[in-house]
């Protein structure tokens, strides 16, 4: 992409009303624009990152055997009357009346609708296990939206729903999502810690939140510090196998959100030098809730013994749009964002120090073509801005590599290559610089 | 994908309330499920097609120089009060009040919001031309939703908005979308005819609808039959060049929707044997409307002479979800859907005639792996269903190729390959069949 044809409205000033660094940087780097309280438009650069985050989430859901569907944003109220949640949900649910005076709502979550889909098509134990997910915009009418996309009202969520014959197989489904989540967040450069959590309005008796530690986190969390660097099992995990040992390895160590925290147990189970109390951002939340929805909504399947019984369910959420904020909280410095390669909106930035100078333009075009061919999708700053402003913008938007090309260097056959994360700079030939960027890419 | 792990709820009976063939087939093939009047969930197979359609639309927008953003589904009413459309739009607009009693609406289109985004960031002729598009769910509260996704209430639309200095450059922007649309629809196997159209509630004085001829079309159209097979310019078009001759080639021949039809002109301009009157489905609609929104909303740019003037705008819509219905109307037979390869949910179907038989299972696995490696993404029917039902399902869901593998054939070293579109069948070795499918793919 040539910057002269793109829309990248960076701000020099720090927006006054943005309280946390990710919100400030998302506004300053031209990723989002607020359209109403807690409702954002995604500008071109922000949308590219959002799509990369979404695609990682999708790939890891698919790998774990979940099947993608897409439910609509609006739902009929009658569906929520079946589960009893229509009246129970409170003011966070956006209630709507259509021209025929029928009650609709903007889905804050989809347990009811997916249960109705399941019961319509799946009637036998032979149809199990099933895990259906979708990645769709949700709305929660937060009383005080804040922190940008961290606590917005219209937000993008991945929500998966598992259906199983009994509690044991439902727990296996829960474990598959538990492991898929570890892999998902690791691919985005995040260290997410699973913590025992409260089930809240979703219900059920088993639940984990996946928490990123960050000073700006909304909730206080307590955990064994060994969990932080434990890493993810990785893509080689056999999702058809027994995942319990991998789950146990994590859940054996103490980790709890504020609501579930038990100070006495924390002290008893965790050596003093490993007792970590910090603030955290919730990026995923998984629940096992048995027959809470399937019983009232009559989502029954026939068991091998010929009896019909309600299926056992779980639900599994990832805050896709919120993740962008969480990634920035974890990866930035005073100059701006430092995107992990897997979610960077462009693979490299090329700075033309003298747009209009034929030799410089030609060298930039050559680099642009070579990087494009290698699939790196570069962003070429071909605008007439002065060098200082171009450097600042490129640091702010945080692409992994910066290739700086100017007339003086070209005379000596040199360009400058800068790695954003470390600020290391090197002078080398254009061909070597391009080769370095291509080689530096994670396969 | 293995069918035993998928969710493919095909119906044997024709749904009574579906009036047109695409609606019937979308329900029967398990592509969609109605959740409320005009509101659908996309089941796994339908979602795969929807994403392929969406991606073709996106690629052709990008090729024509449009920049992707994503605006939210909900919009503040105040924005629509600026343009005067909030009161004018009528009951098709879904109006919503949030917990703080603020007026919101579910966007039926985005002229106002995109104009507000533009005016916030682009102030100079140097920022032009710009074309911003998004692919987002819209809501129009149709009084009588019908024909499945053809006239739904919640629907997926691509809408692009161009911003130019003057009318001449705005017409060049219009031409870029005109040509991009021809290429877009052609890639999906559709013959779309651009027709002079009424501008309706969007406004302006130049507009074309892109129409697919189909008996079940909602509107009557009139055109020179030579337009039907004129074809699209193709991907080699230079979008930086002058596209007027390509546009003129099409607009020189008579083509008009009912509202714009002039019978006398039709007769005068079109030889009698080329006068086609038919029914059509609108799949795209483009508008040039000058300063209709930029003037009241004060989206001004500074011209080279130092003066500020409102930008000239156009908007360009594609009914992404409706396209699925249009494609099925154009591509089906008595047995089901016949997907054009570019939008087929899977590249090929493999039918295991005797799941559980070790040799048959092994041959199926081999075919599955070879086709997967070639990037064809096969669907393997590994269920215990009887052969007749498997054949019927595979015809119904319309994958381009069917590879039928059974114990008897395997003994003779043969499998059966069937091309869905022509029903041609051939017995050949497994390796040859796989090679034939791979070679038959459009590059």
Q: For the segment A236-275, what is each residue's pLDDT rounded down to a tens digit?
A: 999 999 999 999 999 999 999 998 999 999 999 999 999 9
What is the torsional sign of CA B402, B406, B409, B413? Answer: positive
Chain B residues closer than 8 Å to A43 by CB? 69, 117
**What is the mean pLDDT of the segment spanning B40-62?**
98
CA distance A49 to chain B (A): 11
CA-nearest residue to B96 within chain A is A96
CA-nearest residue to A137 within chain B is B73
Q: Residue A54: what pLDDT?
A: 98
Residue to test with chain A: of B5, B34, B36, B311, most A Cβ within 10 A = B36
Cα B174 to Cα B168: distance, rounded to the nearest angstrom: 10
CA distance B133 to chain A (A): 10
Question: Do the Cβ atoms of A72 and B132 come within 8 Å?
Answer: no
Q: Residue A441: what pLDDT?
A: 77
Q: Residue B440: what pLDDT?
A: 83
CA distance B330 to chain A (A): 25
Chain B residues closer than 8 Å to A117 by CB? 33, 41, 43
Count of other CB atoms within 10 angstroms of residue B10: 17
Instruction: Give me the residues paired with residue B195 across strands.
Output: B209
Kindly indicate the confidence band of residue B237, based on its pLDDT and cuts at 50, 70 and 90. very high
pLDDT in tens, A331-351: 999 999 999 999 999 999 999
Q: Which of A91, A96, A113 sits opposite B94 (nearest CB)?
A: A96
End-to-end CA distance of chain A: 23
Q: Residue B202: what pLDDT?
A: 65
The interaxial angle of helices A244-251 and A167-187, nearest 10 deg, is 70
CA-nearest residue to B98 within chain A is A94
* Residue with the two structure tokens 């594609």: B318
- Checking if the pLDDT of A309 tops 80, the result is yes
Q: Residue B200: what pLDDT?
A: 72
Q: Residue A32: what pLDDT?
A: 98
Question: Do the Cβ atoms of B139 and A41 come within 8 Å?
Answer: no
CA distance A199 to chain B (A): 25
Displacement of CA A424 from its chain's centroid (Å): 29
Residue to test with chain A: of B6, B99, B100, most A Cβ within 10 A = B99
CA distances from A112 to A74, A142, B46 (A): 12, 21, 21
CA distances from A282 to A121, A185, A190, A197 (A): 34, 12, 12, 10
pLDDT in tens, B304-352: 999 999 999 999 999 999 999 999 999 999 999 999 999 999 999 999 9
Q: What is the DSSP letter of A342?
A: G
Chain B residues closer than 8 Å to A143 by CB? 99
Chain A residues closer than 8 Å to B104 by CB? 36
pLDDT in tens, B61-70: 999 999 999 9
Kindly indicate the confidence band of residue B59, based on its pLDDT and cuts at 50, 70 and 90. very high
Q: Residue B14: what pLDDT?
A: 84
Identify the CA nearest to A327 among candidates A182, A212, A176, A222: A212
Q: Exposed (0-12), middle (13-18) or buried (19+): which is B184, by Cβ within 10 Å?
A: buried
Question: Do the Cβ atoms of A120 and B9 come within 8 Å?
Answer: yes
Contact present, A409 and A367 (Cβ < 8 Å)? no
Q: What is the DSSP letter of B394?
A: H
CA distance B426 to chain A (A): 33
CA-nearest residue to B144 within chain A is A100
> Burial code of B419-441, b = ≥16 C-beta within 10 A, e = fewer?
bbeeeeeeeeebeebbeebbeee
Question: Do the Cβ atoms of B44 and A69 come within 8 Å?
Answer: yes
Q: Which of B40, B120, B132 sits opposite A72 (nearest CB)?
A: B40
Q: Residue A385: what pLDDT?
A: 95
Cα B286 to Cα B293: distance, rounded to the nearest angstrom: 16
CA-nearest residue to B152 within chain A is A72
Question: Backbone phi, then psi, for B314, in 5-degree steps?
Answer: -140, 160
**What is the mean pLDDT of the segment spanning A323-334?**
97
Please, what is the average pLDDT of chain B? 95
Cα A11 to Cα A24: distance, rounded to the nearest angstrom: 10
Question: Do the Cβ atoms of B72 and A40 come within 8 Å?
Answer: yes
Q: Which two tokens stand for residue B422?
A: 């022509």
Question: Do the Cβ atoms of A139 and B74 come within 8 Å?
Answer: yes
Q: Residue B220: what pLDDT?
A: 93
Question: Do the Cβ atoms of B36 and A75 come within 8 Å?
Answer: yes
Domain B346-440 falls under CATH 3.40.470.10: no
Q: How many CB pairs under 8 A join A and B?
A: 132
Cα A379 to Cα A290: distance, rounded to the nearest angstrom: 49
What residues contact B212, with CB distance under 8 A and at least 6 apart? B185, B190, B191, B192, B193, B280, B281, B283, B326, B329, B330
Please, what is the average pLDDT of chain A? 95
Question: Do the Cβ atoms of B106 and A74 come within 8 Å?
Answer: yes
Kindly indicate the confidence band of residue A198, based on its pLDDT and cuts at 50, 70 and 90. confident
CA-nearest residue to A100 within chain B is B143
pLDDT in tens, B405-443: 999 999 999 999 999 999 999 999 999 999 999 998 765
Chain A residues closer than 8 Å to B75 by CB? 35-36, 39
CA-nearest residue to B104 within chain A is A36
CA-nearest residue to B90 within chain A is A99
Q: Which of A94, A122, A130 sits opposite B96 (nearest CB)?
A: A94
Q: What angle do CA B120, B124, B128 make, to 5 degrees?
A: 95
Residue to test with chain B: of A74, A103, A385, most B Cβ within 10 A = A74
CA distances from B191 to A146, A285, B257 (A): 48, 47, 16
CA distance B368 to chain A (A): 17
Q: Parse chain A into domains and list their residue ranges.
A: 21-333, 346-440
What is the torsional sign of CA A230, A232, A234, A237? Answer: positive
- Checking if the pLDDT of B266 tops 80, the result is yes
Residue to test with chain A: of B1, B7, B81, B120, most A Cβ within 10 A = B7
3-state secondary structure of A161: strand
CA distance A77 to chain B (A): 10
Q: Residue B12: what pLDDT?
A: 87
CA distance A9 to chain B (A): 6
CA-nearest residue to B71 within chain A is A41
Chain A residues closer than 8 Å to B42 by CB? 69-71
Q: Which of A99, A139, A153 sits opposite B91 (nearest CB)?
A: A99
Question: Do the Cβ atoms of B72 and A47 come within 8 Å?
Answer: no
pLDDT in tens, B270-280: 999 999 999 99
Chain B residues closer than 8 Å to A70 by CB? 41-42, 47, 50
- Checking if the pLDDT of B303 tops 70, the result is yes
Cα A138 to Cα A154: distance, rounded to the nearest angstrom: 6
Identify the CA nearest to A384 among candidates A357, A408, A409: A357
- Checking if the pLDDT of A68 tops 90, the result is yes
Chain A residues closer than 8 Å to B130 by CB? 7
Cα A149 to Cα A47: distance, rounded to the nearest angstrom: 13
pLDDT in tens, A346-402: 999 999 999 999 999 999 999 999 999 999 999 999 999 999 999 999 999 999 999
CA-nearest residue to B6 within chain A is A67
Q: Residue B39: what pLDDT?
A: 98
CA distance A79 to chain B (A): 9
Position with higher pLDDT, B118 vs B204: B118
CATH number for the domain whose boundaries are A21-333: 3.30.930.10
Q: Which of B67, B76, B143 sits opposite A99 (nearest CB)?
A: B143
Residue to test with chain B: of A10, A99, A110, most B Cβ within 10 A = A99
| Beta strands at B94-97 and B103-106: parallel, antiparallel or unpaired | antiparallel
CA distance B47 to chain A (A): 6
- Checking if the pLDDT of A34 tops 70, the result is yes
- Checking if the pLDDT of A223 tops 90, the result is yes
Q: Residue A149: what pLDDT?
A: 95
- Checking if the pLDDT of A51 tops 90, the result is yes
Instruction: Give me the residues paired with residue A300 across strands.
Output: A310
Q: Which of A9, A47, A68 sits opposite B70 (nearest CB)?
A: A47
Q: Which of A42, A69, A106 sits opposite B42 (nearest CB)?
A: A69
């Amino acid at each position: 992409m040539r910057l002269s044809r793109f829309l990248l409205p960076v701000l020099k000033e720090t927006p006054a009303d943005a309280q946390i660094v990710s919100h400030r940087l998302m506004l300053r780097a031209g990723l989002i624009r607020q359209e109403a309280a807690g409702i954002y438009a995604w500008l071109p650069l922000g949308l590219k990152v959002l799509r990369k985050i979404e695609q990682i989430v999708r790939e890891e859901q698919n790998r774990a055997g979940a099947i993608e569907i897409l439910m609509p944003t609006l739902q009929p109220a009658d569906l929520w009357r079946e589960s009893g949640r229509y009246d129970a949900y409170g003011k966070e649910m956006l209630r709507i009346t259509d021209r025929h005076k029928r009650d609709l709502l903007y889905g804050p979550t989809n347990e009811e609708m997916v249960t109705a889909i399941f019961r319509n098509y799946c009637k036998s134990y032979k149809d199990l296990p099933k895990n259906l997910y979708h990645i769709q915009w949700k709305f929660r009418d937060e009383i005080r939206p804040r922190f940008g996309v961290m606590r917005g009202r219209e937000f993008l969520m991945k929500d998966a729903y598992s259906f199983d014959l009994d509690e044991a197989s439902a727990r296996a489904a829960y474990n598959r999502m538990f492991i898929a989540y570890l892999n998902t967040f690791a691919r985005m450069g995040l260290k997410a810690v699973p913590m025992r959590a409260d089930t809240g309005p979703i219900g059920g008796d088993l639940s984990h939140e996946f928490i990123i530690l960050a000073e700006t986190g909304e909730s206080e969390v307590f955990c064994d510090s060994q969990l932080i660097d434990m890493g993810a099992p990785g893509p080689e995990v056999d999702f058809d196998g027994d995942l319990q040992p991998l789950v146990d390895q994590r859940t054996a160590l103490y980790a709890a959100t504020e609501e579930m925290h038990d100070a006495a147990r924390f002290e008893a189970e965790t050596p003093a030098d490993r007792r970590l109390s910090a603030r955290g951002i919730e990026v995923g939340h998984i629940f096992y809730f048995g027959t809470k929805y399937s019983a009232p909504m009559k989502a029954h399947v026939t068991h091998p013994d010929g009896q019909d019984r309600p299926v056992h369910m779980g639900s599994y959420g990832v805050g896709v749009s919120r993740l962008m904020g969480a990634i920035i909280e974890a990866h930035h410095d005073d100059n701006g964002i430092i995107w992990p390669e897997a979610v960077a909106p462009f693979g490299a930035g090329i700075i033309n120090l003298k747009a209009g100078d034929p030799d410089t333009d030609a060298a930039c075009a050559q680099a642009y073509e070579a990087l494009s061919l290698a699939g790196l999708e570069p962003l070429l700053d071909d605008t007439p801005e002065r060098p200082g402003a171009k450097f600042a913008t490129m640091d702010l938007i945080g692409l992994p590599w910066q290739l700086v090309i100017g007339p003086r260097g070209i005379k000596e056959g040199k360009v400058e290559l800068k790695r954003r994360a470390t600020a290391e700079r090197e002078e080398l030939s254009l061909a070597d610089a391009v080769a370095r960027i291509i080689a530096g890419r994670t396969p």
